[in-house]
Amino acid sequence: MLPKYFNEYKVSNISAMIRNNGRNPKICTDNFTGRLVVISGATSGIGYITAMKFASQGADLLCINRNEKKSAALKEEIERKWGVSCKYIIADLSNLSDIRNAAAQLIKVERSIDVLIHNAGAYLTKREMTQDGIEKIFVVNYLSSFIINTLLSEKLKSQGRARIILVSSEGHRFVPWGLELNDLNWQKRRYSGLKSYGSAKLAQLQSMLIFADRFSSSGVTINAMHPGAVRSETGQENGAFYRWIKKHVYDRMLRPTEISSESIYYLGVSKEMEGVSGKFFNLTTMEEPAPPALDKQAAFELWEKTLEITGMQDIFV
């Protein structure tokens, strides 16, 4: 018996992905003065460059970071360089309580959130469990955005407009036959860094399908993007050997991080993106993701499982 989705795969989609990986992003030159941008993981890598990009165009920032010292340094640098406001929330996005607390603080923000960028991510070569008893990569790369989007949804809809951007990955293709909902903690299977990462990113894309439907006609849009094969700080939690390989081998083959920030800025600001929702982009090129990421039934099943895991069964978006 052929695996699920086998007949839905197209060679043309893979070739398109390869072509898109080499493309440059579309550029948006519109100013964003006076708007508020929320971004997670803004003290390094893609998040840092993206924060600088929005600040340089006049946006105020509210960053969700793990490190107090780095957050204070980022605030000082951005406010000194660009003369905009840069505030921050300290939260460990592998901790469900911290995620909920961050969402609660966002709900209390008295101004509209124009762009919400879920950038924080992690990659591990060995399985780690959080204090909540959930596999860490699944929490950071998927549950954190799910919880924040869910708890913040009423505020965003009441504004009449907002753009949510999920910094996702072509890595969702590492899970070609879909999620194993009965083994999200990798207790029955051999742990794989690539498959764990891919599973979390696939989950993120499936949840996007449901969020896009629930935000329909509200003025709130949600899209996901692959930030390109660029240099980032992802994977720093791993051992010395992995970090050496990343620095001296992988990073030398990667493109500048600025293409990611330009892409995120375009998706968050460009008038061409008005009303576009529930789509996956490679940088700024719309792309068809892997078949499991388009499976609405699987997305509904994941949604229910996620509500169970997070104890949010009584919350309706």
E-state strands within 145-219:
162-167
- Distance (Å) of CA 218 to CA 51, 154, 161, 211, 317: 26, 10, 7, 11, 12
Residue 145 bridge partners (DSSP): none
Residue 76 lies in a domain: yes
Confidence of residue 247 (pLDDT cuts 50, 70, 90): very low
Residue 19 lies in a domain: no
Mean pLDDT, rounded, for 233-247: 44
Mean pLDDT, rounded, for 112-140: 97
- Residue 248 above 70 pLDDT? no
What is the average pLDDT score of the chain? 92
**Taking a C-beta distance cutoff of 8 angstroms, is the pair 222, 209 a contact?**
no
Residue 139 lies in a domain: yes
Confidence of residue 243 (pLDDT cuts 50, 70, 90): very low
d(CA 195, CA 180): 11
Residue 281 structural domain: 32-228+260-307
| Six-digit token string for 121 | 């991510």
Q: What is the CATH number of the domain that holds 154?
A: 3.40.50.720
State percent of the chain over pLDDT 70. 91
Residue 152 lies in a domain: yes
**From edge to edge, which strands make up the β-sheet containing 60-65?**
86-90, 60-65, 36-40, 115-118, 162-167, 220-226, 280-282, 285-287
Residue 11 lies in a domain: no
User: What are 76-101's pLDDT values in tens digits?
Assistant: 999 999 999 999 999 999 999 999 99
Mean pLDDT, rounded, for 246-272: 78
- Residue 186 above 80 pLDDT? yes
Mean pLDDT, rounded, for 186-213: 97
- Residue 173 above 60 pLDDT? yes
| Six-digit token string for 56 | 């340089």
**Taking a C-beta distance cutoff of 8 angstroms, is the pair 208, 278 a contact?**
yes
Count of structural domains, the chain: 1
State the virtual CA torsion across 90, 94, 95, 98 in degrees, nearest 10. 30
- Residue 235 above 60 pLDDT? no
d(CA 287, CA 16): 8
Mean pLDDT, rounded, for 208-217: 97
Residue 286 bridge partners (DSSP): 281
Which amino acid is located at 310 in the chain?
T
State percent of the chain over pLDDT 90. 84
Mean pLDDT, rounded, for 189-214: 97
Mean pLDDT, rounded, for 291-310: 97
pLDDT of residue 316: 53
Residue 102 lies in a domain: yes
- Residue 240 above 50 pLDDT? no
Indicate the angle between helix axes 296-310 and 144-159, nearest 10 degrees. 100
d(CA 40, CA 65): 6
- Which range among 73-87, 245-259, 261-275 shows the weakest confidence by mean pLDDT? 245-259
d(CA 146, CA 133): 17
* Neighbour tally for 251: CB within 10 Å: 12
Confidence of residue 221 (pLDDT cuts 50, 70, 90): very high
Residue 12 lies in a domain: no
pLDDT of residue 231: 52
What is the separation, in whole angstroms, between the first and last Cα of the chain? 38
Mean pLDDT, rounded, for 154-161: 97
pLDDT of residue 18: 85
Residues 6+ apart with CB under 8 A from 34: 58, 59, 60
Residue 148 lies in a domain: yes
Supply φ then ψ for residue 25, to 5 degrees.
-75, 155
Confidence of residue 3 (pLDDT cuts 50, 70, 90): confident
